[in-house]
Structure 1
Amino acid sequence: MRRLLLLLTLFFTFSTIATAKTPSGQVENVKLNIKDNEMAITFLGISEGEATLIQGPNAENILVNTGGMSTALELEEWLDLYNVKKLKALILTNDISEDSINQLMKLVSKYKIKEIITTPKRKRQLVTHPLPADLTVTNWNAGTKTSILPEVSAIVQYAGDNQNEGLDFMLEFFNHRIFLMSSYSERAEKVLLNKNLEDVNIFKLPNYAMEDTLSKSLIHSLNPEISILFAGAEQLPNADILDDLHEAWSEIYYTKKHGTITIKFTETKYEVITIPIYEE
């Protein structure tokens, strides 16, 4: 039986445009007050691409992806809103365009990033560029298991470098399981279907849940309590995938509708906090 979720929605008295841009200067900082044996994961409501913030106690922060080419300012405003001054690491799950390297290095400098984690192919791409001497580039392979924050382990389920493939990894925090999926190739799905991935608490879908992104079999295998869909530019999630998620009794959060979504975990439960988007 699924646990009773504590669903909290924070409503702020601000107005912003329908794309999920930060209400800079109009909203007080979000204070999650993360204590020992707690963590939070935030799916940032940027208007293009994906960016996910993982936070532990003692102001330890890890960023997964950096959004789109046009969202650098949005990303920084959201990080400021969550009081992020420094990032322990940056995880890049998908392809890195040559045009984005300079933007990436600005983030490295501003947030004092000491490690970038990605796939072997993308590591080779990165190290061909001039990098700060104190920056480490690490590649994760399928099967890699490592502690990234206190009590938080990342276990790589799939690491692909072909088209429509990237890093797919599970975060484990006590009995909580958070699956961040980026790949949507036929090969990746076959591998994932043969793994012990059932009863996921939080599932971040790949590629904005577009058509042919993932099958009904994989959704029912994961059996997610909550599903997170990032908003694609002028794209709507595939209706069949949404139906499959509903059949699996998954609660769906969509950044274009719900804005930024934070999930805070203790040892035994979690709560969902949203910063909604309002049209002018």
Structure 2
Amino acid sequence: MIKRNMLIWAVCLCFFSNGSTVQGASQVDFSLKEDEAAISFFPLFDGEATLLQDGTDRVILINTGSKKSRKELAYWLDFYHIKQINQVIITKQSEKYNGNVDWVTKKYQVEEVVLPKGSNDLQSQHIRMWQGRDVYQLSKHIHVSVLYHEEVNSPSMDLIIAFGEHQMLYMSNSASTIERHLLMKPLKKIDLIKLANFGEGEPLSESFLKQLNPQIGVLFSKEDRTIHPELVSRLTDGWVELYDTNKRESLSIKMSPTIYDVMKFKKTT
């Protein structure tokens, strides 16, 4: 990806607006320094897609949404000025997670596709399988550890993404599974949680959320979604700000090793 010399004015304004929504921006380029990174969650109609970038021009896409959301995925990749993607990571073998992987791989010259071990081989070259408890270095400053890997039923994996002092829990499996495996590790503060299963199914327990003490929860959307009735109340009680992609805004978090800024962007067309 070619880095631009300046950030558009709308993004600069948003850094000081406590995560308010920027309207009217046609494209965003974060102009990241070498020790900075950004993670962005796309508001797809159906499925998940998360963009991870750093100051070494490394571009990683986590999941690709369903085929029904291909036009939206293309819109947001263009919005964030993405011309090439180094790596695609699929966290669950399901249409709502990998529906566009072949299209993305061809259009954005993807170098490597990562799948949970046990997945059926997709029609893509350079396939790599990840499994539980392994740690991978995605770039100079970004590390990912596989917290849990499910191979038997629907191949999937839960990730902890680490950048500087920040840690993000990227859930794919049930809350009880996550809690059990996180308690087996030296527990560190989690800044952000990408919630599993589109908010359907048992949410993380109140006591566990209090222990993790996250600031932000991200919930992706799908057709005919039924959110667990206790999810919002548990997050509210834990002082966790819930971001729901169903609101049709992208969420971006720009990070240095010690601090981060939250931005939201509304689709213009």
TM norm structure 1: 0.82
Deviation string 1:198-245 (CA, Å, 9 cap, x unpaired) is 420011000112232443344333321111111232325323121111
- Mapped to 2, the partners of 1:271 and 1:235 lie a distance apart of 29
Structure 1 residues 188, 9: CA separation in 2 closer, same or farther (over 3 Å shift)?
A: closer
Q: Which amino acid aligns with 1:12?
A: Q
Deviation string 1:58-81 (CA, Å, 9 cap, x unpaired) is 432100000112011211111011
Instruction: Kindly indicate whether the alpha-carbon contact (under 8 Å) linking 1:40 and 1:56 is maintained by their aligned counterparts in 2.
Output: yes
Q: C-alpha displacement at 1:252, in angstroms? A: 1.4
Instruction: Kindly indicate whether the alpha-carbon contact (under 8 Å) linking 1:118 and 1:139 is maintained by their aligned counterparts in 2.
Output: yes
Find the counterpart in structure 2 of residue 7 from structure 1. Answer: 18
Find the counterpart in structure 2 of residue 86 from structure 1. Answer: 84
Find the counterpart in structure 1 of residue 69 from structure 2. Answer: 71
Instruction: Kindly indicate whether the alpha-carbon contact (under 8 Å) linking 2:115 and 2:128 is maintained by their aligned counterparts in 1.
Output: yes
Structure 1 residues 198, 84: CA separation in 2 closer, same or farther (over 3 Å shift)?
A: same
Find the counterpart in structure 1 of residue 113 from structure 2. Answer: 116
Name whichever of 37-46 and 106-115 sits farther off. Answer: 106-115
Would you say how many aligned residue pairs link Structure 1 and Structure 2? Answer: 252
Which of residues 79, 100, 103 in structure 2 aligns to 1:106?
103
Which of residues 204, 227, 231 in structure 2 aligns to 1:241?
231
Instruction: Kindly indicate whether the alpha-carbon contact (under 8 Å) linking 2:171 and 2:178 is maintained by their aligned counterparts in 1.
Output: no
Secondary structure of the 1:208 match is helix
Secondary structure of the 2:68 match is coil
Q: Which amino acid aligns with 1:262?
A: S
Q: Which runs of 5 or more residues in structure 1 are unaligned?
A: 14-26
User: 4+ runs of 1 displaced by more than 3 Å?
Assistant: 162-165, 185-189, 213-218
Deviation string 1:245-270 (CA, Å, 9 cap, x unpaired) is 12221121111126110000012210
Instruction: Kindly indicate whether the alpha-carbon contact (under 8 Å) linking 2:194 and 2:217 is maintained by their aligned counterparts in 1.
Output: yes
Instruction: Kindly indicate whether the alpha-carbon contact (under 8 Å) linking 1:37 and 1:266 is maintained by their aligned counterparts in 2.
Output: yes
Instruction: Kindly indicate whether the alpha-carbon contact (under 8 Å) linking 2:118 and 2:152 is maintained by their aligned counterparts in 1.
Output: no
Deviation string 1:10-58 (CA, Å, 9 cap, x unpaired) is 4213xxxxxxxxxxxxx42112111110000000011110000000114
Instruction: Kindly indicate whether the alpha-carbon contact (under 8 Å) linking 1:165 and 1:184 is maintained by their aligned counterparts in 2.
Output: no
Q: Which amino acid aligns with 1:112?
A: Q
Identity percentage over the alignment?
26
- Mapped to 1, the partners of 2:107 and 2:206 lie a distance apart of 42
Instruction: Kindly indicate whether the alpha-carbon contact (under 8 Å) linking 1:198 and 1:221 is maintained by their aligned counterparts in 2.
Output: no
- Mapped to 2, the partners of 1:186 and 1:57 lie a distance apart of 36
Secondary structure of the 1:49 match is coil
Instruction: Kindly indicate whether the alpha-carbon contact (under 8 Å) linking 2:252 and 2:263 is maintained by their aligned counterparts in 1.
Output: yes
Find the counterpart in structure 1 of residue 162 from structure 2. Answer: 172
Find the counterpart in structure 1 of residue 136 from structure 2. Answer: 146
Q: C-alpha displacement at 1:196, in angstroms? A: 3.2
- Mapped to 2, the partners of 1:177 and 1:6 lie a distance apart of 23
Q: Which runs of 5 or more residues in structure 2 are unaligned?
A: 1-15
Structure 1 residues 197, 137: CA separation in 2 closer, same or farther (over 3 Å shift)?
A: farther
Find the counterpart in structure 2 of residue 19 from structure 1. Answer: none
Find the counterpart in structure 1 of residue 48 from structure 2. Answer: 50
TM norm structure 2: 0.85
Secondary structure of the 1:95 match is coil
Deviation string 1:147-183 (CA, Å, 9 cap, x unpaired) is 1022111011111124466211111111111111111
- Mapped to 2, the partners of 1:218 and 1:166 lie a distance apart of 22
